[in-house]
Amino acid sequence: MTKIITAENIDEAAKCIADGGTVVFPTETVYGLGADALDDDAVLKIFTAKGRPADNPLIVHIAHRDDVYKLASEVSEDAKKLMDKFFPGPLTLIMKKSDIVGGKVTAGLDTVAIRMPSNPIANELIDKSGCFIAAPSANLSGSPSPTVARHVIDDMDGRVDYIIDGGSSQVGLESTVVDVSGDVPEILRPGKITYEDLKEVVPNILINKGILAETDKPKSPGMKYKHYAPKADVTVVMGSKVNVRKYIESHIADGVGVLTYKGGSYGDAFVINAGDNMEEYANGLFYNLRLFDENGVHTVYAEFSDEGGIGLAVKNRLFKSAGHKTVDADNLI
Ligand code: TXA
Ligand code: MG
């Protein structure tokens, strides 16, 4: 039985974590499915609840910056600069792991992913549990990450001990993941903290090529799995406004939905506006993908335009949800 609570009853949920149980909690990015990161049996429950492949490591969440030094054996100067600027917040840092970190949470790697969330409920839960909390996004493996408690319940009811309803996630996409375990920092997953933001702090930072390409030799194990996909079949359509519209209009049929960018309608088709800028697109993306499924849409055409900034994170998630099916409406053969 899953107990659905609010932050008022957080003490129960913190005790559950300390006792080796599982708790879904809100963070500023997406909801996380948490358990004691240093308890291998508890960590195993996360993999089982999500149906997650055992070779995909989890992020360890902390409530205090200094806890990094307990989990990591080496903290580089770049890592310190990034922590000073962006902890707490939507940034995950990969570092060489210390001996207290077990093999389940890191999927056997010698590195550990560490994040200090800024959401006060997340922080209180970590603090009160007295544990470091391992937490992937709280969706069934492969589905879009949940950004509201209702979507958590759809996926996780009966699979976890507690769900804490903390309203809507502010960011809507998962944290930016940066590997600082080597000589040069590298972005493994883009997010709200953008390449441009990071470059101001560590100018030599690189973007891993796997972010936008399909690859079977990724640096981050999570990159190789089909991710974020709704049940509907998604195609991303790019190009000039006029050509994008022409292409999508010619594909409208029963059960076809459109994710528009900056508004507009397509006759009787089920349309969701992704927003007027990339921040809004990011914030609503996973929510909207689930909304298409809930409305019986089997095929989605998504308008998209390459704008950099947080647009890179949107592109990464959207392309994955489409299985990299994209159309350049300006260059149709
Ligand atoms: O915003 C977030 O990061 C959310 C919230 C709950 O904090 N969590 C999240 O976790 O998105 P998850 O498990 O869905 O994604 C973690 C990503 C995966 O792609 C995983 O492969 C990668 O981080 N990762 C974890 N540990 C790693 C490591 N040691 N080396 C490389 N990649 C790692
Ligand atoms: Mg995930």
Ligand 1 geometric centre to CA of 140 (Å): 14
Are the CB atoms for 96 and 73 separated by under 8 Å? yes
pLDDT at site 263 = 95
Rounded to an integer, the average pLDDT of 290-318 is 96
**How far, in Å, CA of 223 to CA of 216, rounded?**
8
Ligand 2 (ion): residues with CB under 5 Å are 137
Q: How confident is the model at residue 222 (pLDDT cuts 50, 70, 90)?
A: low
Give pLDDT tens digits for 27-49.
999 999 999 999 999 999 999 99
Give pLDDT tens digits for 102-155.
999 999 999 999 999 999 999 999 999 999 999 999 999 989 999 999 999 999
Are the CB atoms for 274 and 160 separated by under 8 Å? no
Average pLDDT, the chain: 95
Looking at 52-61, 138-147, 168-177, 215-224, which range is the least confident one? 215-224
Question: In sequence order, which ranges of the chain are alpha helices (DSSP H)?
Answer: 10-18, 40-50, 68-71, 77-86, 120-129, 149-156, 195-201, 241-249, 278-294, 311-321
Going by CA atoms, what residue is nearest to atom 6 of ligand 1? Answer: 32
The alpha carbon dihedral of 301, 307, 309, 315 has a sign of positive
Does residue 320 register a pLDDT over 80?
yes
The alpha carbon dihedral of 277, 278, 280, 281 has a sign of positive
Give pLDDT tens digits for 177-187.
999 999 999 99
On the question of a common fold for 3-212 and 233-331, the answer reads no
Query: What is the fold of 3-212?
Result: DHBP synthase (3.90.870)
Does residue 223 register a pLDDT over 80?
no
CATH class for the domain made up of 233-331: alpha beta
Ligand 1 geometric centre to CA of 9 (Å): 27
| Amino acid residing at 126 | I
pLDDT at site 333 = 72
In the chain, where the domains are located:
3-212, 233-331
Atom of ligand 1 nearest to the CA of 33: 6
